[in-house]
Structure 1
Protein backbone atom coordinates (compact mmCIF):
# COMPACT_ATOMS: atom_id res chain seq x y z
CA UNK A 1 0.00 0.00 0.00
CA UNK A 2 1.40 3.41 -0.94
CA UNK A 3 1.72 6.33 1.47
CA UNK A 4 -1.00 8.07 -0.55
CA UNK A 5 -3.41 5.17 -0.02
CA UNK A 6 -2.66 5.04 3.70
CA UNK A 7 -3.49 8.74 4.12
CA UNK A 8 -6.64 8.99 2.04
CA UNK A 9 -9.96 7.92 3.63
CA UNK A 10 -11.61 4.95 1.96
CA UNK A 11 -15.03 3.37 1.67
CA UNK A 12 -15.21 -0.43 1.62
CA UNK A 13 -18.27 -1.95 -0.04
CA UNK A 14 -19.09 -5.57 0.82
CA UNK A 15 -21.86 -7.52 -0.85
CA UNK A 16 -23.63 -10.10 1.27
CA UNK A 17 -22.82 -13.77 0.70
CA UNK A 18 -24.76 -16.07 -1.59
CA UNK A 19 -28.45 -16.81 -0.99
CA UNK A 20 -30.68 -19.30 -2.80
CA UNK A 21 -32.48 -16.52 -4.63
CA UNK A 22 -29.22 -14.82 -5.61
CA UNK A 23 -27.96 -18.14 -6.96
CA UNK A 24 -31.13 -18.47 -9.07
CA UNK A 25 -31.04 -14.87 -10.26
CA UNK A 26 -34.24 -13.89 -8.45
CA UNK A 27 -34.77 -10.26 -7.49
CA UNK A 28 -34.41 -10.07 -3.72
CA UNK A 29 -35.38 -6.77 -2.17
CA UNK A 30 -37.42 -6.81 1.02
CA UNK A 31 -37.70 -10.61 1.29
CA UNK A 32 -35.78 -11.94 4.29
CA UNK A 33 -33.62 -14.87 3.21
CA UNK A 34 -30.65 -16.61 4.80
CA UNK A 35 -27.17 -17.12 3.42
CA UNK A 36 -26.47 -20.52 1.90
CA UNK A 37 -23.62 -22.59 3.37
CA UNK A 38 -21.55 -21.45 0.39
CA UNK A 39 -22.47 -17.84 1.17
CA UNK A 40 -21.27 -18.26 4.74
CA UNK A 41 -17.99 -19.70 3.47
CA UNK A 42 -17.54 -16.84 1.00
CA UNK A 43 -17.76 -14.22 3.72
CA UNK A 44 -15.74 -16.15 6.29
CA UNK A 45 -12.94 -16.70 3.76
CA UNK A 46 -12.88 -13.02 2.84
CA UNK A 47 -12.76 -12.10 6.52
CA UNK A 48 -9.81 -14.40 7.23
CA UNK A 49 -7.86 -12.98 4.30
CA UNK A 50 -8.75 -9.28 4.38
CA UNK A 51 -10.01 -8.27 7.84
CA UNK A 52 -7.83 -7.66 10.88
CA UNK A 53 -5.09 -5.51 12.35
CA UNK A 54 -2.73 -4.41 9.58
CA UNK A 55 -4.84 -6.03 6.85
CA UNK A 56 -6.74 -4.32 4.04
CA UNK A 57 -9.84 -3.82 6.20
CA UNK A 58 -8.47 -2.88 9.60
CA UNK A 59 -11.25 -2.49 12.23
CA UNK A 60 -9.17 0.05 14.16
CA UNK A 61 -9.26 2.35 11.13
CA UNK A 62 -13.04 2.30 10.72
CA UNK A 63 -14.81 5.50 11.73
CA UNK A 64 -18.25 4.14 10.89
CA UNK A 65 -20.09 1.14 9.46
CA UNK A 66 -23.39 1.27 7.58
CA UNK A 67 -25.31 -1.99 7.22
CA UNK A 68 -28.50 -2.82 5.37
CA UNK A 69 -31.14 -4.01 7.86
CA UNK A 70 -31.95 -7.07 5.74
CA UNK A 71 -31.07 -10.33 7.49
CA UNK A 72 -28.60 -11.50 4.82
CA UNK A 73 -26.60 -8.28 5.15
CA UNK A 74 -26.64 -8.33 8.95
CA UNK A 75 -25.37 -11.93 8.96
CA UNK A 76 -22.65 -11.01 6.49
CA UNK A 77 -21.56 -8.17 8.77
CA UNK A 78 -21.40 -10.54 11.75
CA UNK A 79 -19.30 -13.06 9.83
CA UNK A 80 -17.06 -10.40 8.32
CA UNK A 81 -16.18 -8.43 11.43
CA UNK A 82 -16.71 -10.96 14.24
CA UNK A 83 -15.89 -9.63 17.69
CA UNK A 84 -14.39 -6.15 18.00
CA UNK A 85 -10.59 -6.12 17.89
CA UNK A 86 -8.70 -5.37 21.11
CA UNK A 87 -8.39 -1.65 21.59
CA UNK A 88 -11.44 -0.84 19.42
CA UNK A 89 -13.80 1.10 21.69
CA UNK A 90 -17.41 2.28 21.23
CA UNK A 91 -17.91 -0.42 18.61
CA UNK A 92 -21.72 -0.40 18.75
CA UNK A 93 -21.78 3.36 18.29
CA UNK A 94 -19.86 2.98 15.05
CA UNK A 95 -22.56 0.79 13.44
CA UNK A 96 -25.75 2.10 11.80
CA UNK A 97 -28.40 -0.16 10.29
CA UNK A 98 -30.09 1.96 7.65
CA UNK A 99 -32.64 1.62 4.86
CA UNK A 100 -30.50 4.08 2.89
CA UNK A 101 -28.32 1.13 1.86
CA UNK A 102 -31.07 -1.50 1.62
CA UNK A 103 -31.49 -3.27 -1.72
CA UNK A 104 -33.55 -1.66 -4.49
CA UNK A 105 -37.25 -2.22 -3.74
CA UNK A 106 -38.35 -4.46 -6.62
CA UNK A 107 -42.05 -4.07 -5.86
CA UNK A 108 -44.12 -6.25 -8.22
CA UNK A 109 -40.94 -7.91 -9.48
CA UNK A 110 -39.86 -9.31 -6.11
CA UNK A 111 -38.78 -12.95 -6.48
CA UNK A 112 -38.80 -12.88 -10.28
CA UNK A 113 -35.87 -13.43 -12.63
CA UNK A 114 -34.92 -10.94 -15.32
CA UNK A 115 -36.45 -13.16 -17.99
CA UNK A 116 -39.71 -13.50 -16.07
CA UNK A 117 -39.96 -9.73 -15.63
CA UNK A 118 -39.48 -9.13 -19.35
CA UNK A 119 -42.08 -11.74 -20.31
CA UNK A 120 -44.55 -10.24 -17.82
CA UNK A 121 -44.05 -6.76 -19.21
CA UNK A 122 -44.37 -8.00 -22.81
CA UNK A 123 -47.65 -9.74 -21.99
CA UNK A 124 -48.94 -6.44 -20.60
CA UNK A 125 -48.03 -4.56 -23.76
CA UNK A 126 -45.09 -2.69 -22.24
CA UNK A 127 -41.64 -1.98 -23.72
CA UNK A 128 -42.80 -1.89 -27.33
CA UNK A 129 -40.37 0.88 -28.25
CA UNK A 130 -37.43 0.00 -26.00
CA UNK A 131 -36.43 -2.78 -23.62
CA UNK A 132 -36.99 -2.43 -19.90
CA UNK A 133 -33.91 -1.32 -17.99
CA UNK A 134 -34.12 -1.28 -14.21
CA UNK A 135 -31.43 1.38 -13.90
CA UNK A 136 -33.56 3.76 -15.96
CA UNK A 137 -37.14 2.51 -15.56
CA UNK A 138 -37.23 1.24 -11.98
CA UNK A 139 -39.81 -1.30 -10.82
CA UNK A 140 -43.60 -1.22 -10.88
CA UNK A 141 -44.86 -1.04 -7.32
CA UNK A 142 -41.28 -0.50 -6.15
CA UNK A 143 -38.59 2.16 -6.37
CA UNK A 144 -37.63 4.46 -9.19
CA UNK A 145 -34.10 5.45 -10.16
CA UNK A 146 -34.71 8.85 -8.57
CA UNK A 147 -35.80 7.35 -5.24
CA UNK A 148 -32.75 5.11 -5.03
CA UNK A 149 -30.45 7.99 -5.98
CA UNK A 150 -31.95 10.22 -3.29
CA UNK A 151 -31.27 7.83 -0.43
CA UNK A 152 -27.78 6.96 -1.66
CA UNK A 153 -26.89 10.63 -2.08
CA UNK A 154 -28.02 11.21 1.50
CA UNK A 155 -25.65 8.49 2.70
CA UNK A 156 -22.77 9.76 0.56
CA UNK A 157 -23.19 13.19 2.12
CA UNK A 158 -22.85 11.63 5.60
CA UNK A 159 -19.70 9.79 4.54
CA UNK A 160 -18.14 12.91 3.01
CA UNK A 161 -18.80 14.75 6.28
CA UNK A 162 -16.96 12.01 8.17
CA UNK A 163 -14.03 12.16 5.74
CA UNK A 164 -13.78 15.91 5.15
CA UNK A 165 -11.99 16.82 8.38
CA UNK A 166 -9.29 14.19 8.02
CA UNK A 167 -8.34 14.18 4.35
CA UNK A 168 -4.69 14.69 5.33
CA UNK A 169 -4.59 11.40 7.23
CA UNK A 170 -4.43 12.95 10.71
CA UNK A 171 -6.94 10.34 11.84
CA UNK A 172 -8.05 7.07 10.18
CA UNK A 173 -11.68 7.48 9.08
CA UNK A 174 -12.39 4.58 6.74
CA UNK A 175 -16.06 3.63 6.29
CA UNK A 176 -17.58 0.20 5.64
CA UNK A 177 -20.85 -0.55 3.86
CA UNK A 178 -22.40 -4.03 3.96
CA UNK A 179 -25.30 -4.36 1.59
CA UNK A 180 -26.53 -5.81 -1.73
CA UNK A 181 -25.35 -6.26 -5.29
CA UNK A 182 -27.58 -3.87 -7.21
CA UNK A 183 -27.70 -1.03 -4.69
CA UNK A 184 -23.93 -1.15 -4.16
CA UNK A 185 -23.38 -0.78 -7.90
CA UNK A 186 -25.75 2.18 -7.81
CA UNK A 187 -23.71 3.55 -4.90
CA UNK A 188 -20.51 3.37 -6.97
CA UNK A 189 -22.13 5.40 -9.75
CA UNK A 190 -23.42 8.06 -7.38
CA UNK A 191 -20.05 8.20 -5.57
CA UNK A 192 -18.43 9.01 -8.91
CA UNK A 193 -21.08 11.61 -9.72
CA UNK A 194 -22.74 9.47 -12.39
CA UNK A 195 -26.45 8.98 -12.88
CA UNK A 196 -27.73 5.57 -11.78
CA UNK A 197 -28.67 4.82 -15.41
CA UNK A 198 -25.23 5.72 -16.76
CA UNK A 199 -23.80 2.96 -19.02
CA UNK A 200 -21.08 1.84 -16.62
CA UNK A 201 -21.08 -1.96 -16.53
CA UNK A 202 -20.00 -3.54 -13.25
CA UNK A 203 -20.04 -6.99 -11.68
CA UNK A 204 -19.99 -7.72 -7.95
CA UNK A 205 -19.97 -11.33 -6.80
CA UNK A 206 -21.51 -12.43 -3.49
CA UNK A 207 -19.05 -11.73 -0.69
CA UNK A 208 -16.98 -9.40 -2.89
CA UNK A 209 -15.17 -6.29 -1.64
CA UNK A 210 -14.88 -2.99 -3.56
CA UNK A 211 -12.78 0.00 -2.46
CA UNK A 212 -13.63 3.65 -3.12
CA UNK A 213 -11.57 6.69 -2.19
CA UNK A 214 -10.39 10.04 -3.58
CA UNK A 215 -7.69 11.13 -6.02
CA UNK A 216 -4.86 13.27 -4.65
CA UNK A 217 -6.40 13.39 -1.16
CA UNK A 218 -9.03 15.71 -2.64
CA UNK A 219 -12.59 15.25 -1.43
CA UNK A 220 -13.79 16.87 -4.67
CA UNK A 221 -12.27 14.02 -6.69
CA UNK A 222 -14.05 10.80 -5.62
CA UNK A 223 -12.59 7.72 -7.27
CA UNK A 224 -12.73 3.94 -7.42
CA UNK A 225 -9.75 1.65 -6.96
CA UNK A 226 -9.79 -0.67 -9.97
CA UNK A 227 -6.98 -2.51 -8.25
CA UNK A 228 -5.51 -2.03 -4.80
CA UNK A 229 -2.26 -3.30 -3.35
CA UNK A 230 -2.63 -5.33 -0.17
CA UNK A 231 -0.66 -4.23 2.90
CA UNK A 232 2.79 -5.79 3.10
CA UNK A 233 3.96 -7.66 6.18
CA UNK A 234 6.27 -4.73 6.91
CA UNK A 235 3.36 -2.28 6.85
CA UNK A 236 1.30 -4.60 9.03
CA UNK A 237 4.01 -4.60 11.65
CA UNK A 238 3.99 -0.82 11.86
CA UNK A 239 0.33 -0.62 12.89
Structure 2
Protein backbone atom coordinates (compact mmCIF):
# COMPACT_ATOMS: atom_id res chain seq x y z
CA UNK A 1 0.00 0.00 0.00
CA UNK A 2 1.30 3.47 -0.82
CA UNK A 3 1.80 5.97 1.97
CA UNK A 4 -0.85 8.26 0.57
CA UNK A 5 -3.81 8.00 -1.70
CA UNK A 6 -4.08 11.16 -3.80
CA UNK A 7 -7.40 11.97 -2.15
CA UNK A 8 -6.25 11.68 1.48
CA UNK A 9 -6.71 15.05 3.25
CA UNK A 10 -3.60 17.14 3.76
CA UNK A 11 -2.58 20.07 5.93
CA UNK A 12 -0.10 22.44 4.30
CA UNK A 13 2.05 24.56 6.59
CA UNK A 14 3.27 27.84 5.09
CA UNK A 15 5.89 29.89 6.86
CA UNK A 16 5.84 33.63 6.26
CA UNK A 17 8.54 35.15 4.10
CA UNK A 18 11.65 36.96 5.25
CA UNK A 19 11.49 39.96 7.60
CA UNK A 20 14.33 42.11 8.90
CA UNK A 21 14.38 40.11 12.15
CA UNK A 22 14.21 36.80 10.32
CA UNK A 23 17.50 37.71 8.64
CA UNK A 24 19.38 38.17 11.90
CA UNK A 25 17.63 35.51 13.99
CA UNK A 26 15.81 37.71 16.48
CA UNK A 27 12.84 36.21 18.29
CA UNK A 28 9.78 37.76 16.64
CA UNK A 29 6.46 37.14 18.31
CA UNK A 30 4.01 40.02 18.67
CA UNK A 31 6.18 42.66 16.96
CA UNK A 32 4.55 43.68 13.70
CA UNK A 33 7.06 43.56 10.85
CA UNK A 34 6.49 43.72 7.10
CA UNK A 35 7.98 41.21 4.73
CA UNK A 36 11.14 42.47 3.08
CA UNK A 37 11.16 42.82 -0.71
CA UNK A 38 13.05 39.53 -0.79
CA UNK A 39 10.45 37.98 1.52
CA UNK A 40 7.66 38.98 -0.85
CA UNK A 41 9.56 37.41 -3.74
CA UNK A 42 10.17 34.22 -1.75
CA UNK A 43 6.46 33.69 -1.23
CA UNK A 44 5.46 34.80 -4.73
CA UNK A 45 7.93 32.35 -6.28
CA UNK A 46 6.61 29.55 -4.05
CA UNK A 47 3.06 30.39 -5.10
CA UNK A 48 3.93 30.43 -8.80
CA UNK A 49 5.33 26.89 -8.52
CA UNK A 50 2.99 25.26 -6.02
CA UNK A 51 -0.34 27.12 -5.86
CA UNK A 52 -2.98 26.86 -8.55
CA UNK A 53 -5.27 24.53 -10.42
CA UNK A 54 -3.69 21.08 -10.68
CA UNK A 55 -0.73 22.08 -8.51
CA UNK A 56 0.30 20.89 -5.07
CA UNK A 57 -1.97 23.41 -3.34
CA UNK A 58 -5.10 23.52 -5.47
CA UNK A 59 -7.50 26.24 -4.25
CA UNK A 60 -10.43 24.15 -5.44
CA UNK A 61 -9.46 21.44 -2.92
CA UNK A 62 -9.16 23.77 0.07
CA UNK A 63 -11.86 23.71 2.70
CA UNK A 64 -10.16 26.32 4.82
CA UNK A 65 -7.09 28.49 5.45
CA UNK A 66 -5.98 29.30 8.99
CA UNK A 67 -3.86 32.45 9.18
CA UNK A 68 -1.99 34.06 12.06
CA UNK A 69 -3.22 37.63 12.60
CA UNK A 70 0.33 39.03 12.51
CA UNK A 71 0.97 41.31 9.54
CA UNK A 72 3.78 39.21 8.07
CA UNK A 73 1.53 36.15 7.97
CA UNK A 74 -1.34 38.04 6.35
CA UNK A 75 1.02 39.45 3.71
CA UNK A 76 2.22 35.90 3.05
CA UNK A 77 -1.36 34.69 2.63
CA UNK A 78 -2.00 37.48 0.13
CA UNK A 79 1.06 36.55 -1.90
CA UNK A 80 0.17 32.87 -1.90
CA UNK A 81 -3.42 33.25 -3.01
CA UNK A 82 -3.89 36.74 -4.43
CA UNK A 83 -0.70 37.92 -6.07
CA UNK A 84 1.69 35.05 -6.68
CA UNK A 85 -0.60 32.14 -7.55
CA UNK A 86 -0.01 30.44 -10.88
CA UNK A 87 -3.73 30.71 -11.58
CA UNK A 88 -4.71 34.21 -10.46
CA UNK A 89 -8.26 33.70 -11.65
CA UNK A 90 -8.72 31.31 -8.72
CA UNK A 91 -9.51 33.33 -5.62
CA UNK A 92 -10.13 32.28 -2.04
CA UNK A 93 -13.46 33.54 -0.76
CA UNK A 94 -13.47 35.12 2.70
CA UNK A 95 -15.62 32.35 4.17
CA UNK A 96 -12.72 29.90 3.90
CA UNK A 97 -10.20 32.18 5.64
CA UNK A 98 -9.88 32.33 9.44
CA UNK A 99 -7.55 34.63 11.38
CA UNK A 100 -6.74 32.83 14.61
CA UNK A 101 -4.51 33.53 17.59
CA UNK A 102 -4.22 29.76 18.03
CA UNK A 103 -1.51 29.73 15.35
CA UNK A 104 0.21 33.01 16.10
CA UNK A 105 3.89 32.83 17.00
CA UNK A 106 5.03 31.71 20.46
CA UNK A 107 4.66 34.65 22.87
CA UNK A 108 8.30 35.39 23.70
CA UNK A 109 7.49 37.89 26.46
CA UNK A 110 10.70 39.38 27.85
CA UNK A 111 12.71 37.70 25.09
CA UNK A 112 11.02 39.53 22.22
CA UNK A 113 13.59 40.88 19.77
CA UNK A 114 16.53 39.07 21.37
CA UNK A 115 18.95 36.51 19.99
CA UNK A 116 19.29 33.09 21.62
CA UNK A 117 22.78 33.99 22.84
CA UNK A 118 21.50 37.18 24.45
CA UNK A 119 18.73 35.31 26.26
CA UNK A 120 21.10 32.69 27.63
CA UNK A 121 23.66 35.31 28.70
CA UNK A 122 21.00 37.32 30.54
CA UNK A 123 19.68 34.27 32.35
CA UNK A 124 23.20 33.22 33.35
CA UNK A 125 23.94 36.69 34.74
CA UNK A 126 20.83 36.35 36.92
CA UNK A 127 21.91 33.00 38.31
CA UNK A 128 19.51 30.88 36.28
CA UNK A 129 20.17 27.69 34.33
CA UNK A 130 23.01 26.43 36.53
CA UNK A 131 22.40 22.80 35.57
CA UNK A 132 21.66 23.22 31.85
CA UNK A 133 21.17 25.94 29.24
CA UNK A 134 17.79 27.51 28.68
CA UNK A 135 15.63 25.59 26.20
CA UNK A 136 12.42 27.18 24.98
CA UNK A 137 10.79 23.76 24.43
CA UNK A 138 11.21 22.98 28.14
CA UNK A 139 11.32 26.38 29.83
CA UNK A 140 9.10 28.66 27.78
CA UNK A 141 9.64 32.41 28.02
CA UNK A 142 9.72 34.76 30.98
CA UNK A 143 6.77 37.12 30.70
CA UNK A 144 5.47 35.08 27.75
CA UNK A 145 4.08 31.64 27.07
CA UNK A 146 5.03 28.38 28.69
CA UNK A 147 5.39 25.23 26.62
CA UNK A 148 2.16 23.94 28.19
CA UNK A 149 0.22 27.01 27.05
CA UNK A 150 1.53 26.58 23.50
CA UNK A 151 0.70 22.87 23.56
CA UNK A 152 -2.85 23.53 24.71
CA UNK A 153 -3.68 25.97 21.93
CA UNK A 154 -2.06 23.82 19.25
CA UNK A 155 -3.84 20.69 20.46
CA UNK A 156 -7.13 22.58 20.32
CA UNK A 157 -6.47 23.70 16.77
CA UNK A 158 -5.29 20.27 15.56
CA UNK A 159 -8.38 18.66 17.06
CA UNK A 160 -10.61 21.12 15.17
CA UNK A 161 -8.79 20.50 11.88
CA UNK A 162 -8.95 16.73 12.28
CA UNK A 163 -12.65 16.90 13.09
CA UNK A 164 -13.13 18.56 9.70
CA UNK A 165 -11.05 15.97 7.84
CA UNK A 166 -12.01 12.78 9.66
CA UNK A 167 -15.21 12.02 7.67
CA UNK A 168 -13.37 12.27 4.34
CA UNK A 169 -10.32 10.02 4.70
CA UNK A 170 -11.07 8.28 1.40
CA UNK A 171 -11.66 11.34 -0.74
CA UNK A 172 -15.40 11.66 -0.30
CA UNK A 173 -14.85 15.43 -0.31
CA UNK A 174 -11.81 17.64 -0.86
CA UNK A 175 -10.84 18.98 2.57
CA UNK A 176 -7.24 20.16 2.32
CA UNK A 177 -6.29 22.93 4.76
CA UNK A 178 -3.52 25.55 4.69
CA UNK A 179 -2.01 27.03 7.87
CA UNK A 180 -0.06 30.28 7.36
CA UNK A 181 2.09 31.19 10.33
CA UNK A 182 5.59 31.41 11.81
CA UNK A 183 8.74 29.35 12.05
CA UNK A 184 8.75 28.19 15.67
CA UNK A 185 5.01 27.70 16.12
CA UNK A 186 4.83 25.64 12.91
CA UNK A 187 7.62 23.38 14.13
CA UNK A 188 5.70 23.04 17.41
CA UNK A 189 2.60 22.24 15.34
CA UNK A 190 4.46 19.38 13.63
CA UNK A 191 5.46 17.89 16.99
CA UNK A 192 1.92 17.97 18.30
CA UNK A 193 0.52 16.64 14.98
CA UNK A 194 2.78 13.63 15.50
CA UNK A 195 1.65 13.44 19.16
CA UNK A 196 5.17 14.13 20.42
CA UNK A 197 5.91 16.18 23.56
CA UNK A 198 7.14 19.65 22.71
CA UNK A 199 10.40 19.03 24.53
CA UNK A 200 11.15 15.88 22.54
CA UNK A 201 14.32 16.49 20.48
CA UNK A 202 13.30 16.67 16.83
CA UNK A 203 15.65 18.95 14.87
CA UNK A 204 13.64 20.69 12.15
CA UNK A 205 14.35 23.48 9.71
CA UNK A 206 11.78 25.51 7.80
CA UNK A 207 12.96 28.31 5.56
CA UNK A 208 11.02 31.58 5.21
CA UNK A 209 8.43 31.13 2.49
CA UNK A 210 8.60 27.33 2.73
CA UNK A 211 5.74 24.82 2.53
CA UNK A 212 5.53 21.64 4.65
CA UNK A 213 2.99 18.86 4.11
CA UNK A 214 1.21 16.79 6.74
CA UNK A 215 -1.32 14.04 6.16
CA UNK A 216 -2.32 10.57 7.38
CA UNK A 217 -0.79 7.16 6.76
CA UNK A 218 -3.12 4.47 5.47
CA UNK A 219 -5.96 7.01 5.22
CA UNK A 220 -6.34 6.69 8.99
CA UNK A 221 -7.13 9.71 11.16
CA UNK A 222 -5.26 8.01 14.02
CA UNK A 223 -2.01 7.80 12.01
CA UNK A 224 -1.04 11.44 11.42
CA UNK A 225 2.26 11.74 9.60
CA UNK A 226 4.49 14.09 7.64
CA UNK A 227 6.26 13.87 4.32
CA UNK A 228 10.03 13.69 4.24
CA UNK A 229 9.61 14.02 0.47
CA UNK A 230 6.78 13.82 -1.99
CA UNK A 231 6.20 13.84 -5.73
CA UNK A 232 4.52 16.90 -7.19
CA UNK A 233 1.31 16.44 -9.18
CA UNK A 234 2.01 15.09 -12.67
CA UNK A 235 1.31 17.45 -15.54
CA UNK A 236 -1.67 16.43 -17.64
Give 3-state SS (helix, strand or coil) of 1:127's partner. coil
Output the CA distance in 1 between the equivalents of 2:162 and 2:131: 40
1:129 partnered with 2:131: yes
The equivalent residue for 2:187 is 185
Distance 1:82 1:130, change over 3 A: same
Give 3-state SS (helix, strand or coil) of 1:170's partner. coil
Give 3-state SS (helix, strand or coil) of 1:212's partner. strand
1:13 partnered with 2:21: no
Instruction: Please tell me whether the aligned partners of residues 59 and 85 of structure 1 are also in contact (alpha carbons under 8 angstroms).
Output: no
Instruction: Please tell me whether the aligned partners of residues 3 and 218 of structure 2 are also in contact (alpha carbons under 8 angstroms).
Output: no
Give 3-state SS (helix, strand or coil) of 1:206's partner. coil
Output the CA distance in 1 between the equivalents of 2:99 and 2:206: 21
Per-residue deviation, residues 117-162 of structure 1 (Å, max 9, x unmatched): 0111011111011110001100000000000000000100110011
Output the CA distance in 2 between the equivalents of 1:29 and 1:214: 30
Instruction: Give the TM-score normalised by the residue count of structure 2.
Output: 0.95
The equivalent residue for 1:196 is 198
The equivalent residue for 1:237 is none
Output the CA distance in 2 between the equivalents of 1:15 and 1:54: 22
The equivalent residue for 2:73 is 73
| Shift of residue 85, structure 1, vs aligned partner | 6.1
Instruction: Please tell me whether the aligned partners of residues 82 and 91 of structure 2 are also in contact (alpha carbons under 8 angstroms).
Output: no
The equivalent residue for 2:109 is 107
Output the CA distance in 2 between the equivalents of 1:119 and 1:97: 36
The equivalent residue for 2:56 is 56
Q: Identify the match of residue 139 of structure 1 among 138, 141, 158.
A: 141
Q: Which runs of 5+ in 2 are unaligned?
A: none
Output the CA distance in 2 between the equivalents of 1:160 and 1:122: 42
The equivalent residue for 1:160 is 162
Would you say how many aligned residue pairs link Structure 1 and Structure 2? 232
Distance 1:88 1:19, change over 3 A: closer
The equivalent residue for 1:95 is 97
Give 3-state SS (helix, strand or coil) of 1:82's partner. helix
Cα root mean square deviation, aligned: 1.5
Moved runs in structure 1, 4+ residues, more than 6 A? Answer: none
Instruction: Give the TM-score normalised by the residue count of structure 1.
Output: 0.94
Distance 1:30 1:151, change over 3 A: same
Q: Identify the match of residue 228 of structure 1 among 211, 230, 233.
A: 230
